[in-house]
Amino acid sequence: MKKTILRTLLIASVAAASALVTVQVSAKTFIDDAGRSVQIPDSAQRIATLHDSVLTIPLLELGIFPVASHGRVSASGVPFIRGSKGLTGYDFDNSAIIFVGSSPIDIEKLASVKPDLIITTPWQKATLAQLETLAPTVVLDYNKRSRSEMFAAIAEITGSQAKLAILKGRYQQQISRIKRIVDTKKIKVNVLQASKGKLIVWNSYFNLGKVLRDSGFEFPELVNNIESGERVSFSAENLQELDADYLFVTYRTDKKHTPDDAIEALEAVVPNFCNFLSACKEGRMMVMPREEASSNSFTALSIIAYNVLTHISGKPYLKNN
């Protein structure tokens, strides 16, 4: 009798424990970027993503709707998933995704959506100790992973590698098209941005940098010397060393800026800058929106690839009679 009770208790507690940790019996092990080994339920249904642009958008592009997401709040108090409306079409207001706060997210709000898997980043302030009490929690660190590695990890965790392969194939096709039409090895490019008396240059400016580097374009030496993934604020005195055959300058559409704002900022750093930059003087400096250039998204990569190709190889055609 006693034995039976003990056994029942044991089974019950094991069942309870496993129900808490994994929900489903079948699970795979994933070593996350905090070095933890996490048991991930094979068919997690209620995923919560704790970084909008880095995690939520990739998840949506892989065809999975998170049950809850981190987001930002606009000046007028409306929460949004940054960059999502323009890239995936989805946001808090037109989907079932629940807004759980920014950093730190509201842990109680997250608890109330009953997630079965949480994906977070080291940037999120809510601690692992707290998150783990709600559901298995995976940490993905975008300082350790490139953007494509980020995508790969999210695909592995959610079992959507097939969809990722399709997205990658599309991107490869776009890059090979650039390589076929433009002799990229012979063209030097650079992306710059002016701010408060400095010229800000990344080794590789997110999507725009990735497309340019993957296509095989050359960069100024000063830019190649920047550590990969990092950026440098250069003195205005370095302006001419940052010149290239094609220059890309970005402005923020989400803040309702216009190309004029980008030019004005450059002008403030170096008066008459255009006279001292061959790309600008000869009409090979492109001013383009920053959102697509900097989001973690295959849709954005497509847009950028198309733009780069058009800017560099596209020609106004005038028939000479």
122 binds another protein (CB under 8 A): yes
Confirm or reject binding of residue 143 to another protein (CB under 8 A): yes
Q: Does 274 bind another protein (CB under 8 A)?
A: no
Q: Verify binding: residue 130, another protein, rule CB under 8 A.
A: yes
Q: Is 236 in the site for another protein (CB under 8 A)?
A: yes
Q: How far is the CB of 23 from another protein (least distance, A)?
A: 13
* C-alpha distances in Å from residue 191, one per residue of 116, 201, 224: 42, 7, 12
Compute, in degrees rounded to 10, the torsion defined by CA atoms 113, 119, 124, 130: 60
Query: Closest separation between CB of residue 180 and another protein, Å?
Result: 36
**Candidate list 230, 283, 315, 318; residue touching another protein; CB under 8 A:** 230
Nearer to another protein, 134 or 308 (CB): 134
Asked if 237 interacts with another protein (CB under 8 A), we say yes
Binding span for another protein by CB under 8 A among 135-143, 164-172, 182-190, 303-311 = 135-143
What do you get for the CA distance between the two ends of the chain, in Å? 105
The residue type at 180: R
Q: Is 238 in the site for another protein (CB under 8 A)?
A: yes
Binding mask 150-189 for another protein (x = CB under 8 A): ----------------------------------------
* Helical residues (DSSP H) of the chain, grouped into ranges: 2-22, 57-61, 84-87, 107-112, 128-131, 147-158, 161-181, 206-214, 221-224, 259-269, 273-276, 278-281, 291-294, 298-313
Q: How many residues does the chain have?
A: 321
Near another protein by CB under 8 A, which window of 75-83, 145-153, 181-189, 281-289?
75-83
Which residue of 18, 30, 95, 128 would you call a contact of another protein, by CB under 8 A?
Answer: 128
Task: Report the relative pairing of strands 79-80 and 72-73 from DSSP bridges.
Answer: antiparallel
**DSSP per residue over 252-274, as a string?**
-TTTT--HHHHHHHHHHHSTTHH
Say if residues 197 and 269 touch (Cβ distance below 8 Å). yes
- DSSP-derived secondary structure for 204-228: S-HHHHHHHHHTT-B--HHHHTSPT
Residues that bind another protein (CB under 8 A): 20, 34-35, 72-73, 75, 77, 79, 99-109, 111-112, 114, 122-123, 125-130, 133-134, 141-143, 195-198, 222, 230, 232-241, 255-257, 261, 264-265, 268-272, 275-276
